Amino acid sequence: MLQEAAEESDALSVGEFMSVLRGLTDAQWLRLHEIGRFHSKACGSPEEDLINEAIFRVTEGRRNCPRNVDPIAFLSETMRSISHGLRQKARRLLPIDHKTTDKNGKSVPFNPADASPTAEHALGTAETTKAIRAAILSLFSDDTVARDFAEGVMEGLDGEELRAYTGISGTAFSSMRKKFRRRVDAAYPNGWIL
């Protein structure tokens, strides 16, 4: 009986865990979303779904956060586990034996061309991305706050994440969003052309 009580006290209760979540800072939430984005790339599930599923598993009692573990690290590991499970499930769903017919009507294994980008293509994409990023940031060289806003937008931040990243809120945030759009639209009215 004493051992059971000691084991239970080694993990946060659901209420304690939710209290810890409510106490997370904006920076900690941003970090959690960055981690979610990283894991979402591996499994294709949106970052919000991974975060929500990780929290849900704690509230459902399927996962327990040890008291001596940082909650962000715990949720990160939980999202990694969920992502891994989704990838494994997707692999099991793929049929193993793909067949097609050749020009003579004979059944042959289907062997599609490798669609992954070549090293040259990846390098070209990285260079293009770098050039676009530099060009857009140069539009805001006169305003460091607007430059931070532009960096946040290019990192995929939006809404509360972007507000927390830039430290702008309310009317100033709306004004900054309009300023960003106007400058980019004026500089590239037809979009980015290589």
For residue range 79-98, list pLDDT tens digits in order.
Answer: 988 988 888 887 776 555 56
Quote the radius of gyration of the chain (alpha carbons, Å): 24
Chain centre to alpha carbon of residue 86:
15
| The two structure tokens encoding residue 170 | 């309310």
Residue pLDDT, tens place only, 116-128? 666 666 666 777 7
Task: Tell me the whole-structure pTM to 2 decimals.
Answer: 0.46
177 C-beta neighbours (distance < 10 Å), count: 15
**Which residue carries 């669609």 as its tokens?**
115
Query: Which H helix or E strand runs over 108?
Result: strand 107-109
Is residue 53 very low, low, confident or very high in pLDDT (cuts 50, 70, 90)?
A: very high
H-run or E-run covering 107: strand 107-109
Place of tokens 């989704």: 86
